[in-house]
Structure 1
Amino acid sequence: MTRPLEGTAALVTGGGSGIGLACARRLAADGAAVTLCGRTEERLASAAKEIDAPVEVRHVVADVTDEQQIAAAVAYAAGPAPLRAVVHSAGGSTSIGPIGALDTDAWRATLELNATGTMLTLKHAAAAMARTGGGSFVAISSIASSNTHRWFGAYGVSKAAVDHLVALAADELGGAGIRVNGIRPGLVRTELVAGIAEPGPILDDYLACMPLGRIGEPEDIAEAARFLTGPESSWLTGQVINVDGGHHLRRGPDYRAMFEPMFGADALNGIPGDRPEE
């Protein structure tokens, strides 16, 4: 069987579960020596054992917002073979609610995780790739970067920064043979959205906004990541691809059913006032 990524190394941040794990599994199946990166040793070790691949799947513990840790993780991933692929899936948010009620510390932490974490991973991965002839960096963004998700606080803002970083880095790094692209997932079935993916008004609204009318699976994103890291996309850089069932063609989802009990109807409409009583 032909394995197009054989003889190369890959790093997947956020690789312990969900989209990151699916991407790691897909790259390993095509022969890449994959290193999973995340913050939890136990989860990473378990995920690595789950992947049945022709090469050993390794793992390294690192926080992508800590420059020394992510630099060490990149160096470790490049140990078995030239680093040719990085899928940066680490991200998340602690910032929710209407603008008038946003917690400043949570806002900053979300920007740090999503925007700065992507920059630090790219910074060190690009240096490693440049030394050995180039490679491909794929940032996992979100449909929230392009379609407003009301009351999502810093999340969409930080992912929009990721999208711009993709374009900037693609323009700067092309001369070193480094391609930089992104993926904007829509609603994907992972443990992080377990409640949202259950039947109810929020899921109904998501599906009403999707021409293809189904929840995405982690493997849908993994196939796009594999394409962007492989030789099939060798003349493609600076793109952010929506993998969302067509959701980007319509509007962001309506989370009023979740947030109105938390913050009150007035707050969701931009009117200052007290939160509903507990």
Structure 2
Amino acid sequence: MELSFTDRTYLITGGGSGIGLGVAAGLARAGAHVLVVGRNSDRLSAAAEQINSDAAARVRPYPADVTDEEQVANAVEAATAWNGRLHGVVHCAGGSETIGPVTQIDSAAWRRTVDLNVNGAMYVLKHSARQMVRAGGGSFVGISSIAASNVHRWFGAYGVTKSALDHLIMLAADELGPSWVRVNGIRPGLIRTDLVQVILDSPEVSEDYRQCTPLPRVGEVTDVANMAMFLLSDAAGWVTGQVINVDGGHGLRRGPDMSAMLEPVFGPDGLRGVV
């Protein structure tokens, strides 16, 4: 099976590092034009330069904050204007500012995480879908998390907001199908990125992940990028409304036990809600 992206144009949010960078690099090497979006302009420029050294200047950086709807609309317009059409989006931008027991969550940090993971996803989907509908179709891929389906104790707003993203994906797929816009999601498990290095550095927590994962290795960025590229491609032309785990089978078991990392911070009583 060959996945052709030659002369197609894609927008990748969170494209300066991690999964977003991996998807952008894969698409560029396959002949696509890629606009990478993120808040850190220096990181974006470095990512574009890194990819373009192997992919004939097919990547452009576009600094924007996905929690600002006007900035999102402008980024989508820039991607569309590049070659006259937007073929697809991979929405990787996300994160969390909350971790710890629900009784100790910082409410302002909770709201910022909801704004990033839920509102930001809606803005990107809203404006990119308009362009893809006008063009006669396209593909949107949202990067969710195994934390959306398997409870991760003390993860605060992260799993909650990724569950909201999963529902948004299904809602949009149902609404946009008649316009040939496909909408799917990916739930990564533990993927080797800078963001999860603290987990990999913890012998207790990384061992618990190993016990929860049937395939005995840590996931790599390319594992998720390969699935994203499939969902963007014509090979997935009859796939929509799906949220697919790329997690080594972790979703079959349970969420990780983070107590070894968090008990020293909150104490055993704190982890059960005592304030």
Structure with more of its chain in helix, by fraction: 2
| Preserved contact between residue 87 and residue 137 of structure 1 (Cα < 8 Å) | yes
Q: Tell me which residue corresponds to 2:27.
A: 27
| Preserved contact between residue 32 and residue 55 of structure 1 (Cα < 8 Å) | no
Q: Tell me which residue corresponds to 1:198.
A: 201
| Identical-pair percentage | 56
| Preserved contact between residue 21 and residue 47 of structure 1 (Cα < 8 Å) | yes
Q: Does 1:212 align with 2:215?
A: yes
Q: CA offset at residue 213 of structure 1?
A: 1.5
**Residue correspondence of structure 1 range 15-54 to structure 2 within 5 A:** 15-51=15-51, 52-54=54-56
**Residue correspondence of structure 1 range 10-159 to structure 2 within 5 A:** 10-51=10-51, 52-54=54-56, 56-81=58-83, 82-159=85-162
Give the whole-Å Cα distance in 2 for the aligned partners of 1:30 and 1:129: 21
> What SS class does the counterpart of residue 4 from structure 1 fall into?
coil
Q: Does 1:241 align with 2:244?
A: yes
| Preserved contact between residue 3 and residue 31 of structure 1 (Cα < 8 Å) | no
Q: Tell me which residue corresponds to 2:173.
A: 170
Q: Tell me which residue corresponds to 1:6.
A: 6
Q: CA offset at residue 3 of structure 1?
A: 6.7
Give the whole-Å Cα distance in 1 for the aligned partners of 2:101 and 2:82: 47
Q: CA offset at residue 80 of structure 1?
A: 2.4
Q: Tell me which residue corresponds to 1:276.
A: none
Give the whole-Å Cα distance in 1 for the aligned partners of 2:160 and 2:41: 30
> What SS class does the counterpart of residue 208 from structure 2 fall into?
helix
Q: CA offset at residue 7 of structure 1?
A: 2.4
Deviation digits for residues 37-76 of structure 1, max 9, x if unmatched? 0001110010001112145211100000100001000111
| Preserved contact between residue 199 and residue 206 of structure 2 (Cα < 8 Å) | yes
Deviation digits for residues 211-270 of structure 1, max 9, x if unmatched? 002111101000000000001000000000000000000000000011111111112123
Aligned residues: 271
Give the whole-Å Cα distance in 2 for the aligned partners of 1:3 and 1:213: 28
Q: Does 1:251 align with 2:218?
A: no
Name structure 2 gaps, 5 residues minimum: none
Runs ≥4 in structure 1, deviation > 6 angstroms?
none
> What SS class does the counterpart of residue 80 from structure 1 fall into?
helix
Query: Which TM-score applies when normalising by structure 2?
Result: 0.96
Query: Which TM-score applies when normalising by structure 1?
Result: 0.95
Look up the equivalent residue of 1:60 and give its one-letter code.
Answer: Y
| Preserved contact between residue 202 and residue 261 of structure 2 (Cα < 8 Å) | no
**Residue correspondence of structure 1 range 174-193 to structure 2 within 5 A:** 174-193=177-196
Look up the equivalent residue of 1:120 and give its one-letter code.
Answer: Y
Q: CA offset at residue 78 of structure 1?
A: 1.2
